[in-house]
């Protein structure tokens, strides 16, 4: 029975011993070895190196990085492995190993490769993921400071991107592998890579709203940086953990982490990181119900900008300050800040920030019961969020749009907006999901 097979698998501790029945027709190792020993040397080497990959699937360029080869000579072994049924091309250019074949590949790489070569292969792969994520970073967060990385090794050939959508699509496709790479880097003694990958994925996680992965990877990053006594990595990771915590509405924890980051950045002389932490503290205070403290921190960030020392765009600071004024009921001040922010953000080409400012203007006009103006701003915000791929922003604006329609008596239109918002979130555990469902329950 299956329960007996499962028990044997547990007893074998992830090896193929459970399938060793002394009969070639039931001994999985023997069966796999027939195909493995028929492979060419390059294909056999690539197969057993794939046992070092921690993610659920692998692309052809990532496989090339793992093998330490250019892409072209890697394609032949991939085709050979696929024809031998040792590898499955489940999507064009993307390959996966059956779970039992993965175990066999891991056994083979332990038997065939020296520990030093296994370490080098893992480092090649992790470095490739890191530098390709870094290549995507400026397309997703063009106005955010770059993550400090070691120089690109001559043997590493990361992907290059030419457009926002291309970079975002790569991150979407590789998300499970990137999450796995963070954990693998932490356990493989690569703490720098362990904190740098989540740092380069900040914009992706924010745009797409993968909150569980964001918090998981940034906490792993923080632990790795602290264990290695990497104070720069610790400062970055504190801010990244805090950013994830704000998005799941755990504001007290976020404030604590941002404060730690601000103190550490001051000790390191990192004005840029300190200013980021300061502005983000304003965000966390604002949404924890302390908009007066938020105004304080936003103004401090604006003062640093006026002295020419802030790495953050003026438009970003202004829309945060405008949001704080809105929550204090200072609507004229809020409109003034947000309109100034729009001018700056559009001049900077910051579509992400522009969408946020438009959404906030919609909220201010809704508070003033200028419903037509609010609806117009929300539609502009929705278009801008869609252009930038800001999925959570789309859902948030649709939620706000539904509120305005409900206030005008357009119940069906409100319901449609909230349903669209739920569909975009697609996550039953997202903190906004329950709120949207409660709104829908009020109109059904």
Residue 227 pLDDT greater than 90, yes or no: yes
Say if residue 19 is in the same domain as residue 91. Answer: yes
Number of domain units in the chain: 3
Question: In angstroms, what CA-CA distances link 337 with 16, 266, 288, 384?
Answer: 64, 28, 21, 19
Q: Answer whether residue 239 is part of any domain.
A: no
**Calpha distance 414→170 (Å, rounded):** 34
Distance CA(304)–CA(297), nearest Å, equals: 11
Question: Is 90 exceeded by the pLDDT of residue 8?
Answer: no
Contacts of 163 (CB under 8 A, 6+ apart): 139
Residues 52-66 have a mean pLDDT of: 97
Q: What is the pLDDT of residue 24?
A: 43
Per-residue confidence band for 302, with pLDDT thresholds at 50, 70 and 90: confident
Q: Residue 27: its pLDDT value, please?
A: 66
* Residues 351-405: tens digit of each pLDDT: 989 999 999 999 999 999 999 999 999 999 999 999 988 888 999 999 999 999 9
pLDDT of residue 72: 95
C-alpha distance from residue 339 to each of 11, 332, 353, 357, 360 (Å): 65, 11, 12, 8, 10
Closest CA to 122 of 135, 110, 137, 138: 110
264 within domain boundaries: no
Decide if 58 contacts 66 (C-beta within 8 A). yes
Domain-located, residue 428: yes
- Shared domain for 121 and 22, answered yes or no, is no
Handedness of CA 276, 281, 282, 286 (dihedral sign): positive
- Cα 217 from Cα 213, distance rounded (Å): 6
Q: Is 262 part of a structural domain of the chain?
A: no
Residue 153, classed as helix, strand or coil, is coil
Q: Is residue 182 over pLDDT 50?
A: yes
Structural domain for 145, as ranges:
115-210
Give backbone dihedrals phi and psi of 186, rounded to 5 degrees, phi first.
-65, -40
Same structural domain, 95 and 138: no
SS3 at position 86 = coil
**Which pLDDT belongs to residue 388?**
87
How far, in Å, CA of 212 to CA of 179, rounded?
11
Higher pLDDT, 6 or 282: 282
Query: Looking at the predicted structure, is the pLDDT value of residue 84 above 50?
Result: yes
Alpha carbons 401 and 266: distance in angstroms, whole number: 41
Q: What is the CATH number of the domain that holds 84?
A: 1.10.10.10
Per-residue pLDDT at 64 exceeds 70: yes
258-292: per-residue pLDDT in tens?
Answer: 999 999 999 999 988 888 899 999 999 999 999 99
Helix, strand, or coil (residue 310): coil
Residue-level pLDDT at 368: 97
Rounded to 5 degrees, φ, ψ at 212 are: -65, -50
pLDDT at 6 over 70: no
Q: What is the pTM for the complete model shown?
A: 0.86
The tokens for 321 are 């300050």
Residues 51 and 154 in one domain: no
pLDDT of 170 strictly over 50: yes
151 and 104 part of one domain: no
| pLDDT tens digits along 324-355 | 999 999 999 999 999 999 999 999 888 989 99
Among 285, 224, 210, CA closest to 254: 285
Give the CATH number of the domain where residue 398 resides: 1.25.40.10
Q: What is the pLDDT of residue 234?
A: 98
DSSP, residue by residue, 239-255: HHHHHHHHHTT-HHHHH
Query: Are 95 and 149 contained in the same domain?
Result: no
β-bridge pairing 58-59 and 94-96: antiparallel
Q: Mark whether 415 and 440 lie in a shared domain.
A: yes
DSSP 266-302: HHHT-HHHHHHHHHHHHHHHHHTT-HHHHHHHHHHHH
Residue 253 lies in a domain: no
Residue 248 lies in a domain: no
Q: By percentage, how much of the chain surpasses pLDDT 70?
A: 92
Task: Supply the mean pLDDT for the chain.
Answer: 91
Whether 140 and 99 map to the same domain: the answer is no
Rama region for 58: left / alpha / beta (φ>0; ψ in -120 to 50; rest): beta
pLDDT score at 15: 58
Residues 68 and 156 in one domain: no
Q: How confident is the model at residue 92 (pLDDT cuts 50, 70, 90)?
A: very high
Q: Among 406, 399, 396, 408, which Cα is nearest to 443's? A: 406
Q: Are the CB atoms for 381 and 364 separated by under 8 Å? A: no
Copy the structure tokens of residue 260: 């730690």
179 found inside a domain: yes
Beta strands in 64-199 (DSSP E): 88-91, 94-96
Share of the chain above pLDDT 90, in %: 76
Give the pLDDT mean for 130-150. 93
Shared domain for 377 and 433, answered yes or no, is: yes
Q: Could you tell me how many residues make up the chain?
A: 444
Rounded-to-integer distance, Cα 116 and Cα 196, Å: 23
Q: Specify the 3-state DSSP secondary structure of 88.
A: strand
> How many angstroms separate the CA atoms of 240 and 206, rounded?
11
Distance CA 392, CA 281 (A): 20
User: Could you say which of 192, 210, 228 is where a domain stops?
Assistant: 210
Instruction: Examine the domain organization and report whether 441 and 385 are in the same domain.
Output: yes
Q: What is the pLDDT of residues 234-249, one digit of tens each?
A: 999 999 999 999 999 9
**One domain, residues 183 and 198:** yes
**Which of 79, 113, 147 finishes a domain?**
113
Most confident region among 42-46, 96-100, 306-310, 385-389 by mean pLDDT:
42-46
Within a domain: 419: yes
Digit-coded pLDDT (tens) for 10-57: 665 555 555 555 554 446 677 778 788 899 999 999 999 999 999 999
- Which of 87-91, 306-310, 411-415 is predicted least confidently? 306-310
What's the pLDDT at 142? 85
Cα-trace Rg, the chain: 25
3-state secondary structure (DSSP) of residue 261: helix
Domain-terminating residue out of 155, 181, 210: 210
Q: 16-20, 72-76, 114-118 — which is least confidently predicted? A: 16-20
């Amino acid at each position: 029975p299956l329960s007996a097979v499962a028990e044997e698998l547990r007893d074998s501790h992830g090896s193929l011993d459970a399938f060793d029945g002394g009969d070639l027709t039931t001994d999985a190792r023997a069966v796999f070895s027939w195909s493995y020993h028929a492979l060419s040397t390059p294909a056999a080497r690539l197969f057993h190196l794939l046992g070092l990959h921690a993610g659920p699937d692998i692309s052809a360029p990532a496989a090339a990085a793992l093998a330490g080869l250019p892409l072209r000579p890697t394609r032949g072994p991939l085709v050979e492995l696929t024809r031998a049924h040792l590898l499955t091309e489940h999507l064009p250019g993307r390959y996966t190993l059956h779970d039992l074949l993965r175990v066999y590949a891991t056994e083979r790489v332990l038997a065939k490769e020296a520990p030093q070569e296994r370490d080098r292969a893992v480092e090649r792969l992790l470095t490739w993921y890191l530098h390709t994520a870094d290549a995507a970073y400026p397309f997703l967060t063009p106005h955010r400071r770059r993550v400090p990385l070691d120089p690109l090794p001559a043997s590493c050939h990361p992907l290059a991107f030419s457009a926002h959508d291309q970079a975002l699509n790569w991150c979407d496709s590789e998300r499970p592998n990137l999450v796995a790479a963070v954990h693998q880097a932490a356990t493989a003694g690569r703490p720098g890579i362990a904190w740098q990958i989540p740092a380069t994925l900040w914009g992706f996680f924010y745009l797409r709203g993968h909150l569980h992965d964001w918090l998981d990877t940034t906490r792993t990053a923080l632990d790795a940086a602290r264990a290695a006594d990497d104070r720069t990595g610790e400062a970055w990771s504190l801010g990244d953990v805090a950013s994830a915590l704000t998005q799941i509405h755990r504001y007290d924890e976020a404030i604590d982490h941002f404060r730690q980051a601000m103190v550490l950045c001051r000790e390191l002389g990192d004005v840029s990181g300190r200013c980021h932490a300061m502005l983000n503290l304003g965000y966390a205070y604002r949404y924890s119900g302390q908009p007066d403290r938020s105004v304080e921190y936003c103004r401090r960030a604006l003062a640093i900008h006026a002295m020419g020392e802030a790495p953050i765009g003026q438009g970003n600071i202004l829309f945060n300050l405008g949001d704080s004024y809105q929550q204090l009921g200072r609507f004229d001040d809020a409109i003034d800040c947000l309109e100034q922010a729009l001018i700056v953000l559009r001049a900077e080409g910051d579509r992400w920030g522009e969408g946020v400012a438009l959404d906030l203007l919609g909220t201010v006009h809704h508070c003033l019961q200028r419903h037509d103006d609010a609806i117009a701003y929300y539609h502009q915000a929705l278009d801008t969020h869609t252009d930038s791929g800001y999925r959570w922003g789309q859902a948030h604006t649709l939620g706000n749009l539904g509120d305005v329609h409900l206030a005008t008596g357009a119940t069906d239109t409100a319901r449609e907006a909230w349903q669209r918002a739920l569909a975009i979130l697609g996550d039953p555990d997202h903190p906004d999901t329950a709120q949207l469902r409660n709104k829908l329950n009020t109109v059904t």
